Structure 1
Amino acid sequence: MNVAVEHIATDQPPDDAKARDLDYGWQPGNRIELLENGEAYFPAVFEAMRQAQREILLETFILFEDKVGHELQGILIEAAQRGVKVIVSLDGFGCGELSPAFLSDLAEAGVAVQMFDPAAKLVGIRTNWFRRLHRKIVVVDAAVAFIGGINFSADHLSDFGPEAKQDYAVQVSGPAVADLHHFALAQSGRQVRTRRGWRRRQQRPSPWPTHTDDGLVRLIYRDNLQHRDDIEEAYIHALSKAQKRAVIANAYFFPGYRLLREIRNAARRGVQVQLIMQGQPDVLLAKLAARMLYDYLLKDGVVIHEYCQRPLHGKVALVDDDWSTVGSSNLDPLSLSLNLEANVLIRDRAFNHQLYESLETLARNHCKTMPEKRKPRLWLWRLTVGFLVFHVMRHFPALTGWLPAHKPRLKPFESQAHDH
């Protein structure tokens, strides 16, 4: 039999274009739970899916055919067979090694499987390097949502070994789930209805709300259309408001000058600024790029830690006692200029404290702190080179749009199911 697996176009708006261009405001009255690593994330997500009665929406950059991937596959198949609508959106690069048999089992059970920007290999090499669907979002029954940096792969579990990733996600219950549900449904290409509170870009909500009630959550995202800089601007705005402390833990750190300047300025005015970076990166280039910026930041009082226990994959930050962000976006050219990303902004004192304690434990027990005074290493030259590299990368969406593998298209295709 033939089973359909849809291909989602690069950056092509869904039929309801109005939904794609809306901003999401601050939603009060939410319950936010920090989920650290796969040990906390997978049981929470899988249990929510097992309890699903109507709908499961899932977006992920990576899904591997390992023990986590097979458990997820079984849960989704069982849900679809009992009548739950299941839509799974996968990135064509990150999930490019999934076997036809794995995908066919899902599709035959009734799971709607979609692949973002698929591309055939050229001489055995994948060509869809840029504009990745890098978001990690799960929404179940429009009642509970999960968002963060954790993929569906066993390398997010400690028993994977020295290469197991350190990472974070959040579970959200409350009014903000409606925004996450609306967004995930719209990005899957399904028709959605707009409602009050989903606003046009010219009425963009502030990254820093005027009211300070706990439980405030706002969804922000980055695309290559109308929301190119939203996540970067949220970081810049929060740092400009910082009065006491700011902690950023990010796997791939090579931001543009505006964000670097705001980090430096916060430290200059007496804010305790800490950066937690990779000391044992899964991508060596990430460590080399980040170290180009060390001298520029250290000389103004920024404290830099390198996490050395295992690869750091987190994308989290906090400012003062109640502002935090968790999501999929790194602070590098790929995330800030190319990838499709999503974060949540959180105003909640208890959550901020919980995240701070987790990051402080990480920095204190498992990190190497860079010395305040290092031998001069042509920091001005490094910063200039970094500035040029970053801003060249910012134009990559336009350049890569000319490549055949990245021309917008929405094309369903039929794949031959395997024999059982």
Structure 2
Amino acid sequence: MTSPWRDGNQVSLLINGEDYFPRVFDCVRAAREEVLIETFIIFEDKVGHELQQVLIEAAQRGVRVELAVDGYGTADLGREFVAAMTRVGVNVHVFDPSPRLLGMRTNLFRRLHRKIVVIDGERAFVGGINFSADHLADYGPMAKQDYAVEVTGPVVADLHRSSLGLLRPALDEPSQVRPPARPTGRVRVLLAERDNDRHTTDIEQQYLQAIRAATSRLVVANAYFFPGYRLLRELRNAARRGVKVSLILQGLPDMPWARGFSRLLYNYLLRDGVTIHEYCQRPLHGKVALVDGEWSTVGSSNLDPLSLALNLEANLIIRDADFNQRLHNHLVQLATEHCTRISLERIIRGYWWRAPLIFLCFHFIRRFPAIAGWFPAHAPSLESLHPETDADAGPRYDEGKT
């Protein structure tokens, strides 16, 4: 069962690293008691180094800092980069680290894909933005387009509890922070999680409920779009009953195979009136959606088999007309100015040779939840990294708690 709806929150939309990184780093600098961070990726670039520095400064002034990274997404951090943090008290934990096989990473499935920051139990950030410079416009043409939210209010207690639940196997002592329950705004928010235990379909169910209830407009902007059959059917059904359904998908993909899979589904959706735009200015990395004039979601979950059936994910579901309108205005501008609209006529060219692939894809995604059960089931284990200070050998990481 998912977390309950929380009233009395304040939510701000953050677009790309230009909005996100300064706010997160400023709030970490102002932290008094505790910083909890979960992320899929940290790179040793200018963003990663700034994160490292603000966490070191926080730990040095007595703030408890717990940093959890994914063993697949953050597999290449240098020892010295990590040791500089752990020496001053930053606790670094790796989710399901695995040895390489012939130089290849083997922990492909059930990743820690959540991006959550909780500060002093009072303020949190949730979204799809990793700590890497490729989320900044000055990175170049392959800079990612992405979203997050900053939130205060009662829902922060749910985020705090969720992060501590993930970190609990690796914590030396329980958190002393008690998130306040006082309202900070008027926004209703729900935390929807996906894990491999009690919350296996929570995020997908929130999407399905919202799509089924849609009456006027539905916009989905998602980087890796290859959803299950139920979501596809509900999108098509919404368009059939007169809802204006718009998808904004990758047109300049960071992973070309992802667009290839998505395009296999275009014909099914276009023929029933769904509008599809491909965003071509930069790689789309966002995971956002809105329904009618109130419902919105921002988080880490793509609409693909990895996110919907294997990874650990977190989305916030937001009920607020002002937030919904701001997100809608932004996505309309994105579609109008930086996207190519895909026509049915264009997609059906060469349909004869794609038809067998489409048939196989539909049957695959209908049965993927069952297929996912064949993959090794990773428990949500963490390995804590501890440096040994040996002047001759240099930093070395002992195996920590799991």
**What TM-score comes out, normalization by structure 1 length?**
0.86
Paired residues of 1:275 and 1:305 also in contact (CA < 8 A): yes
Amino acid at match of 1:318: L
Q: Which residue of 1 aligns with 2:92?
A: 113
Find 1:260's aligned residue among 208, 232, 235.
232
Given the alignment of the two structures, is residue 238 of structure 1 paired with residue 210 of structure 2, yes or no? yes
Given the alignment of the two structures, is residue 361 of structure 1 paired with residue 340 of structure 2, yes or no? no
Paired residues of 1:293 and 1:382 also in contact (CA < 8 A): no
Counterparts of 2:248 and 2:230 in 1: how far apart (Å)?
19
Counterparts of 1:320 and 1:57 in 2: how far apart (Å)?
34
Counterparts of 1:313 and 1:414 in 2: how far apart (Å)?
33
Find 2:361's aligned residue among 377, 382, 386.
386
Amino acid at match of 1:125: M
Amino acid at match of 2:332: E
Find 2:293's aligned residue among 302, 318, 321.
321
Return closer, same or farther for 1:271/1:380 CA change in 2, 3 Å cut-off: farther
SS of residue paired to 1:28: strand
Question: What are the residue-to-residue correspondences of 1:135-146 with 2, within 5 Å?
Answer: 135-146=114-125
Paired residues of 2:194 and 2:313 also in contact (CA < 8 A): yes
Deviation at 1:401, TM superposition (A): 1.6
Paired residues of 1:337 and 1:396 also in contact (CA < 8 A): no
Higher relative contact order (CA 8 A, sep 6+): 1
Q: Which residue of 1 aligns with 2:189?
A: 217
Counterparts of 2:385 and 2:32 in 1: how far apart (Å)?
29
Amino acid at match of 1:136: K
Counterparts of 1:418 and 1:351 in 2: how far apart (Å)?
52
Q: Which residue of 1 aligns with 2:101?
A: 122
SS of residue paired to 1:159: helix
Q: Which residue of 2 aligns with 1:30?
A: 9
Deviation at 1:415, TM superposition (A): 4.5
Amino acid at match of 1:355: L
SS of residue paired to 1:146: strand
Q: Which residue of 2 aligns with 1:207?
A: none
Which 5+ residue runs of structure 2 have no aligned equivalent?
A: 179-184, 395-402
Which 5+ residue runs of structure 1 have no aligned equivalent?
A: 1-21, 196-212
Given the alignment of the two structures, is residue 306 of structure 1 paired with residue 278 of structure 2, yes or no? yes
Give the length in aligned residue pairs.
379
Amino acid at match of 2:166: Q
Return closer, same or farther for 1:417/1:341 CA change in 2, 3 Å cut-off: farther
Q: Deviations over 1:171-195 (max 9, x none)?
A: 00111111111111111115579x9
Find 1:152's aligned residue among 112, 119, 131.
131
Deviation at 1:387, TM superposition (A): 2.3
Counterparts of 1:182 and 1:238 in 2: how far apart (Å)?
26
Identity %: 54
Counterparts of 1:153 and 1:99 in 2: how far apart (Å)?
15
Q: Which residue of 1 aligns with 2:398?
A: none
Counterparts of 1:417 and 1:398 in 2: how far apart (Å)?
43
Deviation at 1:73, TM superposition (A): 0.2
Q: Which residue of 2 aligns with 1:15?
A: none
Q: Which residue of 2 aligns with 1:53?
A: 32
Paired residues of 1:101 and 1:418 also in contact (CA < 8 A): no
Counterparts of 2:77 and 2:104 in 1: how far apart (Å)?
15
Question: What are the residue-to-residue correspondences of 1:78-93 with 2, within 5 Å?
Answer: 78-93=57-72
Paired residues of 1:29 and 1:174 also in contact (CA < 8 A): yes
Deviation at 1:382, TM superposition (A): 4.0
Q: Which residue of 2 aligns with 1:202?
A: none
Paired residues of 2:95 and 2:383 also in contact (CA < 8 A): no
**What TM-score comes out, normalization by structure 2 length?**
0.90
Paired residues of 2:96 and 2:382 also in contact (CA < 8 A): no
Counterparts of 2:186 and 2:214 in 1: how far apart (Å)?
18
Cα root mean square deviation, aligned:
2.1
Deviation at 1:373, TM superposition (A): 3.5
Deviation at 1:164, TM superposition (A): 0.1
Q: Which residue of 2 aligns with 1:67?
A: 46
Paired residues of 2:86 and 2:386 also in contact (CA < 8 A): no
Question: What are the residue-to-residue correspondences of 1:189-228 with 2, within 5 Å?
Answer: 189=168, 190=171, 191=174, 215-228=187-200
Counterparts of 2:214 and 2:236 in 1: how far apart (Å)?
12
Q: Which residue of 1 aligns with 2:156?
A: 177
